[in-house]
Each structure stands twice: as C-alpha cells, then as structure tokens.
Chains A and B, each alone.
Chain A
C-alpha cells in the first residue's frame, strides 16, 4: 500500500518536473500533482498525507519554504518544492488557503475516546494558539478535521523533535504528552465539530 503510494507519487512527481520545464505552464497543471495526493477538494484520501483545505496561508508558506530548504525532511515534498521560487511559494499557499476546509467525518466517534481527547486538548491548551474551533491563525495551522493518521504522526514527530518546527513551540508543548494522549488527541481533533 505504502509502496504503491510512493511509486504513484514519484510518477506524478516525475511528470510534474517534466511538465514544469514547459515555459507557459498553466497554474492548474502545476497544482494538479499536489491535489493528486492531498485531495481535489481540500480533503486528503491518502494515508499519512494532510488535508490542505483552508489551511492558514502563512503556515502553508512556512512549510513549503521549509520543504524547499530541507529544514523539514520529506523526500517527496523536498523534491516537489525544490524548483519553486518565492513567488511560487506564495501562490501555492494562497491557493491552498482558498480550498474548502475539510468536513468532519460522518460518524461522530466513540464518545469515551472523544471525551478523553477533549480532556487532553484542554489540559495542554491546544486551543490557545490553534483557536477554540482549531481553525488556526497566521503561522499556527488549522488542525480541526485533519486526517487522524497525519495528526498522530505529526504529534509524535514534534514530541521526538524529529520534526523540528519553524520555532520551538510544539517541541516544548509536546514534552509531557504521552503516546496514549497523542492517540486520543488525534482521534478527537480529526472528528471535532
């Protein structure tokens, strides 16, 4: 599954890179490989790959920049961002911000797990920076209704500092959060209404 995904992504990537050599490439063509994995309508259907819908533009810009500069390491994204200039970063992040925000999943989730997740979010005050509705602000990302697998993966990476944030905030915040709490937080934030 994972292999197929990587192969598919790399094919899309190769096509994208080939295409980008064409001088007057339309924006729709340039964004197509992004949407192939991240979802056409702001919601990703790909494992461990974030939904981008209505993401805060300043946050998206910072991440694209960090991918380009390899300050954030992800083989596919580092390659995708490599040819982008500063204006491209702005154009892509502004476009992402205008995609529809991901909707909460149809099922409301297990009540006990939702309650545990809500308690953990209150304990660690996620809503201070990410806002009470988890829509984020400026350089703080929208996390509400993000994919659960991606949320869990990201929180674990911040905790281990294998994903060094743009600044130190998340590394600090995650220090006392347990693996069980990470699972509950991801479950809750993915389904929050």
Chain B
C-alpha cells in the first residue's frame, strides 16, 4: 500500500534533483577551485535559496537565530498548552484533535470531515466525528512531498505538494483506505525554499496556487513570486498576482469577493523591518513589490536601486516583523458576536529571525466598509512563554457551526474556539 504512494515520490526526487541543478546554475557562482593557501577565503555570497542570505557577519545575536523545526512527534493530548492560551471574554478554546504530526492547513468536507495537511512529515490526515461525538484521526496519505495545502469542493479533496496539485474524488467516502491521488496540475517549480503551498478554491470556482520566491531575498524568473489560478480540472492556468514573496494563507472578502492574502517579509534586513503584509488584489496582474519594494514603503537595500514603491501595490496592513503571518479566513458564521462578521481572523506562526519573538498568536483584523483595515487586535495569545514557543498556530478555519479551528504544527494538534456557553463541539 505504502509502495503505491512511494512510486511518485521517486519522481519528485528526480525532479527535485533537476531543481537543485537549475538553482546551482542560476547561482552563477564561480566553481570555487579553492586556493591551497592557508588564509581563509572571505565569505562569498550565499546561494539564492539559503535562509541565511543577508545574515550580518560577526553578530553574536544574529548567529543565534535559525529556522525552528517543529518536532516530528505530536505532543500527547495531556501535554497540550490549551490551558495557557487566552481568548477574549465569552470565548472558549479546547482541543479538537491531537496526535496529528506537523498539522498545517485545514479544509472541511461536505460531511464534516476535517482534512489536515503537513509540511515536514509527508502526511495528509482526516479527522472524523461519529454520531456519538467520538473523534478519530486517520492518515489518508503518506510519503508525499511537503503536502502543506488542502482544499475541498463538491466531494473532492485537493492536495498541494511542493510542485504538484492532486485531487481525491469522493474523499470522505473511503477514509479507511489510502487516498487515491490523481495529479491535475504540475507546471510548478521544484525549489525547496518557499516551495510548500497553501491552496484554496475561490468564489469563481478556481483553485488558487501560490509560488513563493525561491529563497530569502532573490531576483527570480517569472515562474516564482506569484499567485496563479487554475480550473478544477487543471486547465486555464493564469497568473493573478506578482511580487509575492511567500503567501501561506488567503481568502475572499464575502462582501466584494476580493482576494486578501498574507505575505511574509524578507529576513536578515533588521530586527524590526520589513513587516509581514496583509494584501488585497483589486485587479488581475497586480504587483505587490517583492523583492524590490518591501512593506509598501521601503525599497530593498539590495534590489531596490532604481525602483520606487509608488510602482507597486502597498499592503492594506502591516503584521509585524518576521511574525510569519500564515493562515487567514473571513469569519462568516453566526456563532461569534456580530463584530466578527465578515472580518478577518489571521494566524501568526511566530518569528525565528528576531531576538525577541513576535507573533505566535491569532489576530482579529477589522475592516472598513471600503475594504481597508480599521484595526488589528489579538484574538488568541499565549503561544510564547519566556521567548520560547509552546505552540505555533498555522491555519484558521471556520466550521459550518460557526466555531473556529486553529492548527498547531509544533504540537501536532487542532484547537477549536467557540463562543458562549457551549463548551463541547456539536455532536453530529
């Protein structure tokens, strides 16, 4: 069974190999034939994909910072930090499901199944609830390559791996056996850096697919730094936004159907700028600045020469430096107070490239009538303790009953936020 899933994996390995070669060529670095002299060479430029690009030399504080890898084994249910998480008065937060290694993006099926992607452990999970309210987590696919993105429409589950999109028909009907993935689109680059994907299906019934910039701060070709959309059969491929460094969350404003997306700002420029962005697409083909203009008002110190921020669409909100703003959805349910209706709930995974951590929370972003941002305020806090993570929120998703699910890839869990006296999830 597992070998079925493994066959395509050798293909991606081959693909990733080609990708690495391409990256190497693009680096245009002299094939350093190291001089046999005893003097250490001066540090040459880092490769374009490296998360370390831009790291200041000889800074002890900077040398302490490196991307934080979540543990591969989920935390035991009784070790989850739920009791330490704070929500506004009247709201409740509880564990919806645990034991979901590296839980990332969330999607709800027609019959109430919650599908969960992962970035580092190759699994896609299904959480199902039986008529007695008992919840079961099943791994429906494994051995995939960074299957971060999941989306669901009309019985079909869509899965985004690093460089291909697949579908699983009648996904909720066969949760007991491994999912049968059928590739629908694979015209995507194979870079590891920012290669994992969030996906979602828009009100136009098209599947939206981001392709990140292949590294921290790099000039790149036309196949990167963008959001594209395809028809659900894989046809009609079209780029709708450029200048996108790395978005891992987006949703459509229910009132005017405009797409809002989070975008992660570059690292190593400084502790405090640039900030992550919340953006809005008002017309197809808009350019959001990366890597030339950052956070709408800073020309990049390296690539910004001769560029002007006036030539790019500015963000509608800044979301904090290095805060890793990821999943976001408009709240359209009836459970939360009316102040939440049609507003944005947004998860910040939390920084690694900053001495004092920021993010590690879920925000409420309130909009004006014209779609600009009125204010941002904390919604769920408490994921950081003594400048360390005790959990890291990734995606948020409103369930049909109006409650909100939040995934945590650090603990491998999904939490549920509800409002009012109702403490337990609906027993269907």
A residues engaging B (CB < 8 A)? 58, 61-62, 65-66, 69-71, 86, 89-90, 111-112, 115-116, 118-120, 122-125, 127-129, 137-140, 159-162, 164, 166-169, 171-176, 178, 180-181, 184
Contacts of B291 in A (CB 8 A): none
Point out the residues of chain B lying under 8 angstroms from A137, CB to CB.
Answer: 66
- Contact residues in B for A181 (Cβ distance below 8 Å): 32, 34
Residues of B within 8 A of A122 (CB): 40-41, 43
Give the contacting residue for B20; candidates A66, A116, A171; CB below 8 A.
Answer: A171
- Residue B55, interface by CB 8 Å: yes
| Chain B 1-39 near chain A by CB (<8 Å), digits 1 or 0 | 010001000000100110110011001010111111111
**Judging by beta carbons under 8 Å apart, are B34 and A116 in contact?**
yes
In contact, A69 and B33 (Cβ under 8 angstroms): no
In B115-130, which residues have CB < 8 Å from any A CB? 120-122
| Pairwise interchain contact B41-A119, C-beta atoms closer than 8 A | yes
Q: Are B51 and A119 in contact (CB under 8 A)?
A: no
Q: Which residue of B lies closest to A111 (CB)?
A: B38
- Is the C-beta of B266 less than 8 angstroms from some C-beta in chain A? no
Contact with A along B33-68 (1 / 0, CB 8 A): 111111111011011111110010000000100111
Nearest 10 interchain pairs by C-beta = A172-B49, A168-B192, A139-B69, A161-B16, A65-B72, A175-B47, A119-B41, A115-B38, A176-B47, A176-B29
A124 near B193 with CB under 8 A, answer: no
Is A164's CB under 8 angstroms from B40's CB?
A: no
Main SS at interface, chain B? loop
By the criterion CB–CB under 8 Å, are B17 and A62 in contact?
no
Please determine whether B24 and A125 come into contact, CB atoms closer than 8 angstroms: no
CB distance from A109 to the nearest CB of B (A): 13
Q: Is B376 part of the contact surface with A, judged by Cβ < 8 Å?
A: no
Say yes or no: is B167 at the interface (Cβ < 8 Å to chain A). no
Are B13 and A62 in contact, CB atoms less than 8 angstroms apart? no
Q: Judging by beta carbons under 8 Å apart, are B33 and A123 in contact?
A: no
Return A8 CB to nearest CB of chain B, in Å.
27
Q: Which residues of B contact A139 (CB under 8 A)?
A: 69
Note all chain A residues with C-beta closer than 8 A to B63: 127-128
Contact of B71 among A58, A169, A176 (CB under 8 A): A58
**Could you tell me the distance between the alpha carbons of A18 and B72 in the complex, rounded to whole angstroms?**
28
Chain B nearest CB: distance from A158 CB in Å? 9
Question: B225 an interface residue at 8 Å Cβ cutoff?
Answer: no
What is the CA–CA distance of A58 and B36 in the complex, to the nearest angstrom? Answer: 37
A115 touches B39 (CB 8 A): yes
Choose one: A65, A161, A167; the contact of B73 (CB below 8 Å). Answer: A65
A66 touches B50 (CB 8 A): no
Q: Does B215 contact A (CB under 8 A)?
A: yes
Determine the chain A residues whose CB is within 8 A of the CB of B69 once the complex forms: 58, 62, 138-139, 166-167
B26 to chain A, nearest CB (A): 9
CB of B217, distance to nearest CB on chain A (Å): 13
Q: Is the CB of A172 within 8 A of B215?
A: yes
Task: Find the A residue at minimum CB distance from B29.
Answer: A176
Chain B residues closer than 8 Å to A124, beta-carbon distance: 46
9 A–B contacts from the bound complex (CB under 8 Å):
A66-B72, A70-B6, A115-B40, A119-B39, A164-B16, A166-B69, A166-B120, A172-B51, A178-B33
Which residues in window 264-281 of B have CB below 8 A to A?
Answer: none
Contact: B32 with A128, CB < 8 Å? Answer: no
A49 to chain B, nearest CB (A): 22
Question: Within 8 Å CB of B34, what residues of A?
Answer: 116, 119-120, 180-181, 184
In the complex with contacts A173-B52, A175-B27, A176-B29, A125-B46 CB distance below 8 A: yes
Q: What is the CB-to-nearest-CB distance from A55 to chain B, in angstroms, rounded to a whole number? A: 15
Cβ–Cβ contact A175 & B121, under 8 A: no
- Flag B66-82 by CB within 8 Å of A: 1 or 0 each: 11110111000000000
Name the distance in Å between A155's Cβ and chain B's nearest Cβ.
13
Q: Closest chain B residue to A85 by CB distance? A: B73
| Bound form: Cα–Cα A120–B44 in Å | 9
Contact of B47 with A123 in the complex, beta carbons under 8 Å? no
How long is the Cα–Cα vector from A157 to B36 in the complex, in angstroms? 26
Residue of A65, A71, A137 with most partner-chain B CB within 10 A:
A71
- Smallest CB gap from B45: residue in A: A176
Q: Are B52 and A128 in contact (CB under 8 A)?
A: yes
Q: Is the CB of A169 within 8 A of B67?
A: yes
- Give the Cβ gap from A23 to chain B, nearest Cβ, in Å: 24
| A171 with B49, Cβ < 8 A, contacts A61-B73, A86-B73, A176-B29 known | yes
Smallest Cβ distance from B347 to chain A, in angstroms? 19
Do A175 and B23 contact each other (CB < 8 Å), given the known contacts A70-B2, A89-B73, A169-B67?
yes
Q: A70-B6, A164-B16, A178-B33 are in contact. List 10 more A-B contacts (CB 8 A).
A: A69-B122, A116-B35, A116-B36, A119-B39, A123-B41, A128-B55, A171-B20, A172-B192, A175-B47, A178-B31
- The reply to whether B43 and A125 form a contact with Cβ atoms under 8 Å apart is yes
Q: How far is the CA of A122 from the CA of B41 in the complex (A)?
A: 7
Identify the interface centre among A86, A112, A160, A176: most chain B CB within 10 Å of its CB.
Answer: A176
Any A CB within 8 A of the CB of B142: yes
Of B17, B72, B215, the residue contacting A162 (CB under 8 A) is B17
Alpha-carbon distance A112/B20, docked complex (angstroms): 30
CB-CB < 8 A to A69: which residues of B? Answer: 121-122, 142-143
Q: Does B382 contact A (CB under 8 A)?
A: no
Q: B55 — which chain A residues lie within 8 A by C-beta?
A: 125, 128
Chain A residue contacts of B38, Cβ below 8 A: 111-112, 115
B359 interface contact, C-beta 8 A: no
A168 contacts B145, CB within 8 Å? no
B210 contacts A by Cβ under 8 Å: no
**Distance in Å from the Cβ of A148 to the closest Cβ of chain B?**
17
Q: Is B289 on the interface with A (CB-CB < 8 A)?
A: no
B315 sits at the interface (CB 8 A): no
